[in-house]
C-alpha cells in the first residue's frame, strides 16, 4: 500500500458538549512521526522524512498496533470527495467497559485538516 504523507500539527479536540478537551500533537524526530494523545507519545516509524515547498513531512504506512494498557494506534486511508487519498491516525482507549476514540485527519499533501472524537461506547 502507498504510504501516507503527514506533517507536524497541534490541535485541541473537544468532545460532545465541550467535555474533556484533548490536546493532540504530531511532530517529527529523526526517524519517527510522534503523535501525542492524552499527553502520551506514540511513535510511528517513518518510511521517509523530508522537506518540500510546504515544509517538513514524514511518510508513514497503514498500521494497527496494540500499545498495551488499553491503547491501540490505528492508521488508515481517508478519502476526500474532491481530493486524493489522505490518512487518519486514531488512538483508541479502552477501559472500564468503554471505548473512546480520538482521530486526526490528513489530506493528500500531509496537512492536518480535521479531527474527530468518539465518545465512550459501553
- Mean pLDDT on 55-82: 90
Q: Where are the domains of the chain?
A: 4-121
Count other Cβ atoms within 10 Å, centred on residue 55.
Answer: 10
The sheet carrying 9-13 orders its strands as 9-13, 22-28, 32-37, 40-45
Q: What percent of the chain has a predicted confidence (pLDDT) above 90? A: 61
Q: Indicate if the pLDDT at residue 7 is higher than 80.
A: yes
Q: What percent of the chain has a predicted confidence (pLDDT) above 70? A: 89
For the whole prediction, is pTM greater than 0.75? yes
How far apart are alpha carbons 54 and 36 in whole angstroms? Answer: 22
Q: Indicate if the pLDDT at residue 54 is higher than 70.
A: yes
- Record the cell numbers describing residue 9, joined without a space: 500539527
Amino acid at each position: 500500500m502507498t504510504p501516507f504523507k503527514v506533517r507536524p500539527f497541534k490541535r485541541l479536540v473537544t468532545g460532545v458538549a465541550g467535555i474533556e478537551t484533548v490536546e493532540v500533537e504530531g511532530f517529527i524526530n529523526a526517524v519517527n512521526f510522534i503523535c501525542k494523545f492524552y499527553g502520551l507519545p506514540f511513535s510511528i516509524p517513518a518510511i521517509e522524512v523530508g522537506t518540500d515547498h510546504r515544509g517538513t513531512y514524514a511518510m508513514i504506512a497503514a498500521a494497527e498496533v496494540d500499545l498495551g494498557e488499553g491503547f491501540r494506534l490505528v492508521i488508515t486511508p481517508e478519502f476526500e470527495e474532491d481530493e486524493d487519498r489522505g490518512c487518519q491516525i486514531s488512538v483508541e482507549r479502552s477501559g472500564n467497559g468503554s471505548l473512546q476514540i480520538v482521530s486526526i485527519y490528513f489530506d493528500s499533501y500531509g496537512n492536518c485538516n480535521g479531527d474527530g472524537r468518539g465518545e465512550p461506547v459501553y
